[in-house]
Amino acid sequence: MIDLIIFLGLITTGYVVGQTLERRHYRAIEQREAALLALPTTSTKRSFGTVPPGTRSELVQGACCISVDYFKRIAASLRQLFGGRVSSYETLVDRARREAILRLKEGAGDAHQIINLRLVTSSITKGQRGQVGAIEVHAYATALYDH
């Protein structure tokens, strides 16, 4: 009985800590997105407005890898039994995507706009059954700079 109580205590602690860290990461992402909101970014190959002569372009990129915690893996396994949306993985992919774009924008320095944004995602598997261990998102684009 004591073993069961310890096990449930550890499960509960892990769940609470995981949720707290995820919420903290989302708050940090939202603050950084607000700070970079003025930098126009598009997935189209054309720039906003006319490009002045002498505009310099440069490849910029950002990458993020976020691991799957034990509780998301359990929730996803249960969802596979019954079907439907795997919302626990949706938040994982959302955080990784937004973080990769933020890192790209932060790496662009004093660019006046970013065009042709592309995202590449991959899962890093672990274990014998090919379970997802982490999600990686790589963002790359063209940054436009004045002279």
Query: Among the ranges 63-67, 82-86, 95-99, 124-128, which has the highest mean pLDDT value?
Result: 95-99
Q: Which CATH architecture does the domain made up of 2-145 adopt? A: 2-Layer Sandwich (3.30)
pLDDT digits (tens, 9 = 90+) for 17-34: 888 888 999 999 999 999
The pTM of this model reads: 0.83
Q: Write down the domain spans for the chain.
A: 2-145
Give Cβ neighbours of residue 146 (< 8 Å, ≥ 6 apart): 52, 54, 55, 56, 112
Q: What is the DSSP letter of 109?
A: T
Q: Strand 131-145's sheet: what is its strand order?
A: 56-67, 131-145, 113-126
